[in-house]
């Protein structure tokens, strides 16, 4: 690799770095000991986020995985079952945490591009299964769906799932790590998304660009239980107002900017489709994630990622033929231009007859 080459890092929206203005907000943050609930910046962030989603309370956590896990364990008991889409983060990217920490089993259904089909989900649900079969007590929905390609869930499917599952005693959890992107792409308010779920997790460290931080959102009762478990897991933290300040700054300044990430992702998708139409349908790209399917190409996803890296474009290989490109705050227009040219060149080579 040319040492002077500027890297275009499209591996994830987690790689963006705090801006100087965000760092200034961090430096000025009022802080206290959050284990004693004494940190004013954390308290105000928790209240702010709970209110945004129309819920009673929220809890700051270091990661989205922890926010998901704290939420899930308030809904599902040991020996009970959570169901979710097969490619969801909870099923694939949390290293079996629900089983390890909470004795929860997980079963999955499959939706095309992760797009929720409530009938499909309900056909897998087995509530109140008695003394012989595992009972489903909660259903998790991911919005946007990461491995589905940043897809935005349909509100009518979410609402239909709620309508069908609630009378049967099943709870619903929203993995809203990228709910900000879903909001910007759809215009649907956070409170509207929040209405259908008992618990919610959101990440400040993805497209919003904060260095650290997620929140678990729910009723006062569930959040106070989650607070105890957060401490038990060793994630009771002290003067984390410096992190919450980054979150406040991101909510104030970075939600609107996501629209630009979405435009850039669409540009990348169009560039790739132009030379290799089978890899991506640009009309499916609604947010900041572009999932390329390299099936039928001469390169595996890992080989493609290595070739791109050698040219200064970093992408993720997340399956044998699945490559993910993610746009974020630190990707400029000129970088998108350069990445598009390099990806086109590699795709041309990969699909050459």
Ligand X SMILES: *Cc1c(COP(=O)(O)O)cnc(C)c1O
Name the residues that contact ligand X, by CB under 6 A: 63-65, 68, 89, 142, 146, 175, 177, 203, 206, 214
- Residues with Cβ < 8 Å from 311, sequence gap 6 or more? 1, 5, 342, 346
Rounded Cα distance, 204 and 5, in Å = 30
Q: Residue 112 corresponds to which tokens in the numbers above?
A: 């095309």
Cβ neighbours of 220 (radius 10 Å): 11
Cross-strand pairs, 61: 214
CB of 89 to ligand X, least distance (A): 3
Query: Which one, 68 or 297, has the nearer CB to ligand X?
Result: 68
Query: Which one, 65 or 321, has the nearer CB to ligand X?
Result: 65
Q: Residue 346 corresponds to which tokens in the numbers above?
A: 């590699």
CB of 324 to ligand X, least distance (A): 11
CB of 94 to ligand X, least distance (A): 7
Query: Which one, 64 or 247, has the nearer CB to ligand X?
Result: 64
- Residues with Cβ < 8 Å from 53, sequence gap 6 or more? 190, 191, 193, 194, 200, 202, 217
Cross-strand pairs, 293: 322
CB of 131 to ligand X, least distance (A): 34
Instruction: Name the closest residue to ligand X (Cβ).
Output: 64
Query: Which one, 215 or 350, has the nearer CB to ligand X?
Result: 215
CB of 51 to ligand X, least distance (A): 22
Query: Which one, 65 or 335, has the nearer CB to ligand X?
Result: 65
Give the distance from CA 221 to its chain's centroid. Answer: 25
Give the closest residue to 325 by CA, choosing from 262, 276, 274.
262
CB of 142 to ligand X, least distance (A): 5
Query: Which one, 151 or 335, has the nearer CB to ligand X?
Result: 151
């Amino acid at each position: 690799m040319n040492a002077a080459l500027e890297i275009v890092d499209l591996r994830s929206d987690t790689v963006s770095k705090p801006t100087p203005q965000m760092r200034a907000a961090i430096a000025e943050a009022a802080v206290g000991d959050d284990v004693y609930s004494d940190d004013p910046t954390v308290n105000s962030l928790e209240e702010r986020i709970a209110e945004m989603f129309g819920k009673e309370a929220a809890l700051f956590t270091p990661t989205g995985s922890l926010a998901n896990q704290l939420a899930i364990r308030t809904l599902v008991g040991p020996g009970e079952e959570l169901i979710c889409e097969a490619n969801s983060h909870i099923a694939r990217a949390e290293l079996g945490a629900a089983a390890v920490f909470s004795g929860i089993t997980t079963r999955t259904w499959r939706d095309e591009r992760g797009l929720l089909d409530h009938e499909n989900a309900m056909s897998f649900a087995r509530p109140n299964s008695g003394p012989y079969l595992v009972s489903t007590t909660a259903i998790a929905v991911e919005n946007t769906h990461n491995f589905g390609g940043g897809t935005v869930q349909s509100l009518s499917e979410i609402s239909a799932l709620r309508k069908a599952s609630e009378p049967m005693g099943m709870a619903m959890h929203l993995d809203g790590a990228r709910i900000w992107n879903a909001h910007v792409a759809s215009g649907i308010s956070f409170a509207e998304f929040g209405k259908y779920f008992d618990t919610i997790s959101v990440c400040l460290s993805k497209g919003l660009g904060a260095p650290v931080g997620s929140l678990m959102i729910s009723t006062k009762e569930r959040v106070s239980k989650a607070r105890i478990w957060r401490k038990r897991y060793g994630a009771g933290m002290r003067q984390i107002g410096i992190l919450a300040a980054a979150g406040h700054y991101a909510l104030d300044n970075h939600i609107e900017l996501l629209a630009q990430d979405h435009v850039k992702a669409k540009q990348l998708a169009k560039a790739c489709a132009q030379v290799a139409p089978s890899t991506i349908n640009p009309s499916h790209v609604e947010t900041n994630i572009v999932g390329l399917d390299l099936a039928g190409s001469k390169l595996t996803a890992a080989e493609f990622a290595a070739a791109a890296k050698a040219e200064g474009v970093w992408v993720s290989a997340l399956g044998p033929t699945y490559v993910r490109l993610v746009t974020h705050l630190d990707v400029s227009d000129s970088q998108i231009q350069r990445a598009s040219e390099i990806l086109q060149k590699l795709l041309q080579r990969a699909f050459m007859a």
